[in-house]
Amino acid sequence: MSKRMRKFLGYYKPYKKIFFTDMACALIASVVTLMFPLLTRYIANDVLTADSVAFDIILQVGAVMIALVIVEYLCNYYIAYKGHVMGAYMEADMRDELFQHYQKLSFNFYDDQKVGQLMTRLTNDLFSLTELYHHGPEDIVISFIKIIGAFVILMTIHVPLTLIVFGMIPFMIVFSVYYNKQMKKAFKANRKKIGDINARIEDSLSGIRVVKSFANEEQEMNRFQHENRLWIDTKRNSYHKMGRFHSGIGAFISMLSVVIILGAAYFISDNQMNAGDLIAYLLYISNLTDPIKRLINFTETFQDGISGFERFMELLEINPDIEDKHDAIELGNVEGNVRFEDVSFRYNEKSDYVLRHVDLDVRAGEYIALVGQSGAGKTTLCSLIPRFYEINEGDIKIDGISIKDIKQKSLRDHIGVVQQDVYLFAGTIMDNIAYGNLSASEEDIIRAAKQANAHDFIMGLEDGYYTDIGSRGVKLSGGQKQRLSIARVFLKNPAILIFDEATSALDNESEQVVQESLEILAKNRTTFVIAHRLSTIKNAERIVVLGEHGIEETGNHESLLKKDGEYAKLYNMQFR
């Protein structure tokens, strides 16, 4: 058995009991349905034709039939209820597994992905897969038992008539499979057209002010009408295929009845059959629609489910490109010395090196500013310290320990990052600050908010710290959001800090406030600052100028200006 196959079946494992009970129910329910025509035939052939009609036997048969109905009901109930629940459990298991895998994948993976697609994998794709998991085996068991069972039973009644009738069934299956495919195709085209119409509406209404100012309403109406007509065409096509499919199956079953009645009439007149046999034939044939539909249904769920599984596995089989060594260590107390040793890095094999042979030794507690043209690699350099990306050559050491020898969690626990765009999660302000340290107490959180200059504005909100960020009406300004993200880092209390243009998006006033709290935060911690404000840079103990070839210059403000090199150029262009 292939590895994937084993993986596929493995998801049944925790639910073996339900699965086998489900299969047993499918089997029993199918056998029970096969019994009814037989019992009817028995009454018609043996009981009603006897010299004196035995009512007690009819009553007994009736009692058996009622018992069978109850058994059938219980089995179908189990299948419909527990079978679906099993499917839901399996879906949840797989969703957990994939979500957990998502959490492990690194920046490199997310750089190339659309979040919407990753969501679809977790929802729609898995749904079609679990449809296969719980309906697939059931459909197979039920349809095979019902079709083969009916065949075997009818063969014992009359061989030639059975062969004639069952000889027609493959045609019906081919017909149904074909039209079913056509129908699906038509539905798909239909959905696409609906998408086009929506896009048209959105485009036109979003731009309604432009439409009106150019007085182009009529042209918009015409374009819309055109899309709308095209929609009718796809609808017509899908109803056409649907009509063929349903009326075709209906006609086929009726044709089978006609063949049976004519054939049986002949064989009855020939004394090879009797009326009860004819009834049995008609009942079995009318029961065949269900298993045939299930069979067709199975071909679809199978295709959808298997391709869903392929996509699921494709994602699961992507290995996180950054993983802890098996003997990775936890950092104890961190002083905060950060050393780049001949570091070269590029994002992928096809792109150029962003950093080449970078050497940089940052003392514990030093305040270092990174400057350089946009795209020079400032953000990249900083994102290598928490090992968001794997460096290609060289090494980065924290207090002398290579970051590759440290557990990622432990490494990142000691580094705080404040970025330009702040992401706040759904939940309260309290929750969002607590994200910096999940075991912090309420006092710790409030202290962190005070240090980040956020306490006052939080207390001004209607529910204070318990204000729900997700709910309507809570509009935080950029500066307020940034202060929440700084409070998070205060709470985390890391030895190493990275401020990546933390204040760039803010207006002057909130920039001041945020800058103040950043300065308090930076005290006694190793700090890397990427900034556009001269005052921030000027105060740095050391300025590192990044250019196309890595580090171009280092020094303090005065010495670099005197040097009249890259920094002086940047200074004249940007900061003055």
Half-sphere exposure of 526 (CA within 13 A, CB side): 18
Distances (CA, A) of 347 to 324, 462, 500: 20, 45, 19
As a residue count, the chain comes to 576
Choice from 103, 374, 508, 535 touching ligand ADP (CB under 6 A): 374
**Binding positions for ligand ADP, 332-351, rule CB under 6 A:** 347, 351
Choice from 376, 487, 496, 545 touching ligand ADP (CB under 6 A): 376
Which residues is 370 bridged to in the sheet? 530, 544
Spatial strand order in the sheet of 338-345 = 355-362, 338-345, 393-398, 401-402
| Residue-wise burial string across 371-403, b where 16 or more C-beta atoms lie within 10 A, e elsewhere | bbbeebbbbbbbbbbbbbbebeebebbbbebeb
Choice from 14, 62, 375, 470 touching ligand ADP (CB under 6 A): 375
Quote the CA–CA distance of 84 and 264 in Å, as a whole number: 42
**Binding positions for ligand ADP, 51-70, rule CB under 6 A:** none
Least distance between ligand ADP and beta carbon 385 (Å): 13
Quote the CA–CA distance of 71 and 105 in Å, as a whole number: 50
Least distance between Mg ion and beta carbon 378 (Å): 5
Quote the CA–CA distance of 168 and 171 in Å, as a whole number: 6
Residue (103 or 374) nearer to ligand ADP, CB: 374
* Interacting residues of 296 by C-beta distance below 8 A, sequence separation 6+: 173, 176, 177, 180
Classify burial at 501, counting beta carbons within 10 Å of its beta carbon; exposed 0-12, middle 13-18, buried 19 or more.
Answer: middle
Cα–Cα nearest to 26, from 130, 136, 151, 132:
136
Least distance between Mg ion and beta carbon 390 (Å): 19
Q: Is residue 421 part of the contact set for ligand ADP (CB under 6 A)?
A: no
Least distance between ligand ADP and beta carbon 382 (Å): 8
Q: Is residue 217 part of the contact set for ligand ADP (CB under 6 A)?
A: no
Question: What is the gyration radius of the CA atoms in the chain, in angstroms?
Answer: 36
Span from 30-38, 200-208, 218-226, 376-384 in contact with ligand ADP (CB under 6 A): 376-384
Residue (11 or 528) nearer to ligand ADP, CB: 528
Residue (374 or 508) nearer to ligand ADP, CB: 374
Q: Total binding residues for ligand ADP by CB under 6 A?
A: 12
| Backbone angles phi and psi of 18, in degrees to 5 | -60, -45
Q: Which of Mg ion, ligand ADP, none interacts with 263 (beta carbon under 5 to 8 A by kind)?
A: none
Q: Are strands 393-398 and 401-402 parallel, antiparallel or unpaired?
A: antiparallel
> What character string, x for contact with ligand ADP (CB under 6 A) and - otherwise, covers 103-142?
--------x-------------------------------
**Binding positions for Mg ion, 357-416, rule CB under 5 A:** 379
Residue (86 or 546) nearer to ligand ADP, CB: 546
Residue (236 or 532) nearer to ligand ADP, CB: 532
Residue (213 or 348) nearer to ligand ADP, CB: 348
Quote the CA–CA distance of 191 and 230 in Å, as a whole number: 12
Quote the CA–CA distance of 496 and 417 in Å, as a whole number: 9
Residue (87 or 377) nearer to ligand ADP, CB: 377
Q: Is residue 503 part of the contact set for Mg ion (CB under 5 A)?
A: no
Least distance between ligand ADP and beta carbon 368 (Å): 15
Q: Are strands 338-345 and 393-398 parallel, antiparallel or unpaired?
A: antiparallel
Q: Which amino acid is at 576?
A: R
Choice from 83, 149, 276, 372 touching ligand ADP (CB under 6 A): 372
Choice from 216, 380, 493, 556 touching ligand ADP (CB under 6 A): 380
Quote the CA–CA distance of 333 and 327 in Å, as a whole number: 19
Element spanning 146, H or E: helix 126-157
Quote the CA–CA distance of 575 and 573 in Å, as a whole number: 6
Least distance between ligand ADP and beta carbon 310 (Å): 27
Q: Is residue 378 part of the contact set for ligand ADP (CB under 6 A)?
A: yes
Tokens found for residue 186: 């038509």
- C-beta of residue 384 within 8 angstroms of C-beta of residue 412: no
Span from 39-47, 267-275, 377-385, 415-423 in contact with ligand ADP (CB under 6 A): 377-385
Q: Is 401 left (phi over 0), alpha (psi -120 to 50) or beta?
A: beta
Q: Which of Mg ion, ligand ADP, none interacts with 2 (beta carbon under 5 to 8 A by kind)?
A: none
Report which residue's Cβ sits closest to Mg ion.
379
Cα–Cα nearest to 531, from 555, 500, 510, 507:
500
Quote the CA–CA distance of 310 and 424 in Å, as a whole number: 34
Least distance between Mg ion and beta carbon 530 (Å): 6
Q: Is residue 377 part of the contact set for ligand ADP (CB under 6 A)?
A: yes
Residue (112 or 558) nearer to ligand ADP, CB: 112
Span from 137-145, 298-306, 373-381, 556-564 in contact with ligand ADP (CB under 6 A): 373-381
Least distance between ligand ADP and beta carbon 245 (Å): 50
Element spanning 77, H or E: helix 55-78
Least distance between Mg ion and beta carbon 389 (Å): 14
Q: Which of ligand ADP, Mg ion, none interacts with 451 (beta carbon under 5 to 8 A by kind)?
A: none
Q: Which of Mg ion, ligand ADP, none interacts with 87 (beta carbon under 5 to 8 A by kind)?
A: none
Least distance between ligand ADP and beta carbon 387 (Å): 15
- C-beta of residue 107 within 8 angstroms of C-beta of residue 388: yes
Q: Are strands 393-398 and 367-371 parallel, antiparallel or unpaired?
A: unpaired
Q: Which of Mg ion, ligand ADP, none interacts with 243 (beta carbon under 5 to 8 A by kind)?
A: none
Choice from 29, 354, 486, 491 touching ligand ADP (CB under 6 A): 354
Q: Which of ligand ADP, Mg ion, none interacts with 103 (beta carbon under 5 to 8 A by kind)?
A: none
Interface residue list for Mg ion (CB under 5 A): 379
- Which spans of this chain sit near ligand ADP (rule: CB under 6 A)? 111, 347, 351, 354, 372, 374-380
